[in-house]
Amino acid sequence: MVIWKTKDIEMMDFEGTSDVFIKSFFDPDQDYSTDTHYRCQTGTASFNWRKNIPLKSKEGEYILTIQAWDWDLIGSNQIIGECQVDLGPLMSDSVLTDKVQSMNNNYF
Ordered mean pLDDT values, 10 residues apiece, the chain (108 residues): 87 85 90 89 88 75 90 87 89 84 69
pLDDT at 53: 82
pLDDT value at residue 99: 84
- Global pTM exceeds 0.85: no
Cβ–Cβ < 8 Å for 70, 19 = yes
Domains of the chain: 2-97 (2.60.40.150)
